[in-house]
Amino acid sequence: MLISTFNINGVKARLDALLAWLEAASPDIACLQEIKSQDEAFPRGPIEALGYHVETHGQKGFNGVALLSRTPPVEVLRGLPGDDQDDHSRYIEGVWQVGPRRLRVASIYLPNGNPVGTEKFSYKLAWMERLIRHAEALLATEDDLVLAGDYNVIPMPLDAANPQAWLGDALFQPESRAALRRLVNLGLADALRASTDAAKTYTFWDYQAGAWQKNAGIRIDHLLVSPEVQDRLVSVGIDKHVRGWEKPSDHVPVTIEIAA
């Protein structure tokens, strides 16, 4: 089974690229972030024509997450529990029955948090605390669990071409990185780092300053997996070439393969 995460950075603007990638990669479940579309305006028709079921948690103009899957989920949760006042569409979770196993997959668009020292950074850290509490509850179910998405956190200096350039950024603050470690330390594994410790392994290249051409990237798109999934992890791949397509997202897809 193939499970992917892809911050599409506007599904309407990148629809052609999304469709081309879906046809080529053919994931069983694709987690999208930053769809920047309300639910009723999401271009589901062309995606459904490729054989995908579509579940969205949208928002006009920004944020928004979606789950595309070959078979419909048996359960869907929209919104991260823990704050009824939070109106940002940043979390959607689906459950699939795969033979005798229950597979739970979430698409996550974690807050950016910039600038540091403002309420935006406080919101990021509070959101991460809620995610930690929710993940702890999910792990207790012993379902197969994949928490996939744009985490807006650079875990280690290894995950940035130029770590010094990010020292003042919310993505690389000690508090952000510590919160991600606490999440992983619940018993999850960073699927990519469970497979390789290779440097220059990035998932995001800014549109500015020739970052793509210079390979000045960072790794902020992660798939965190439960022990039940890690035991069956076959491979992890980054579709870096997608960044070179016409009108690309600044992120690229990351895909894990897990055995049945």
Domain ranges of the chain: 2-258
Is 87 among the residues known to form the active site? no
The pTM assigned to this predicted structure is: 0.98
Tell me the percentage of the chain whose pLDDT exceeds 90.
Answer: 99
Res 141: pLDDT: 95
Res 224: pLDDT: 98
CATH 2.40.50.500 is held by the domain 2-258 = no
Annotated active-site residue in 52, 109, 151, 202: 109
At 237, is the pLDDT very low, low, confident or very high (cuts 50, 70, 90)?
very high
Q: Distance between CA atoms of 26 and 28, rounded to whole angstroms?
A: 7
pLDDT (mean) for 159-175: 98
Annotated active-site residue in 150, 159, 190, 221: 150
Residue 200, φ and ψ in degrees, nearest 5: 55, 40
Is 202 among the residues known to form the active site? no
At 147, is the pLDDT very low, low, confident or very high (cuts 50, 70, 90)?
very high
pLDDT digits (tens, 9 = 90+) for 83-114: 999 999 999 999 999 999 999 999 999 999 99
At 164, is the pLDDT very low, low, confident or very high (cuts 50, 70, 90)?
very high
At 232, is the pLDDT very low, low, confident or very high (cuts 50, 70, 90)?
very high
pLDDT (mean) for 48-75: 98
Q: Distance between CA atoms of 137 and 16, rounded to whole angstroms?
A: 38
On the question of pLDDT at 8 being above 90, the answer is yes
**Residue 133 neighbours by CB under 8 Å, 6+ apart:** 81, 82
Position 61, amino acid: G
At 209, is the pLDDT very low, low, confident or very high (cuts 50, 70, 90)?
confident
Residue with tokens 């950024």: 169
Res 200: pLDDT: 96
Residue with tokens 């071409």: 161
Res 97: pLDDT: 97
At 260, is the pLDDT very low, low, confident or very high (cuts 50, 70, 90)?
confident
Mean per-residue pLDDT of the chain: 97
pLDDT (mean) for 174-198: 97
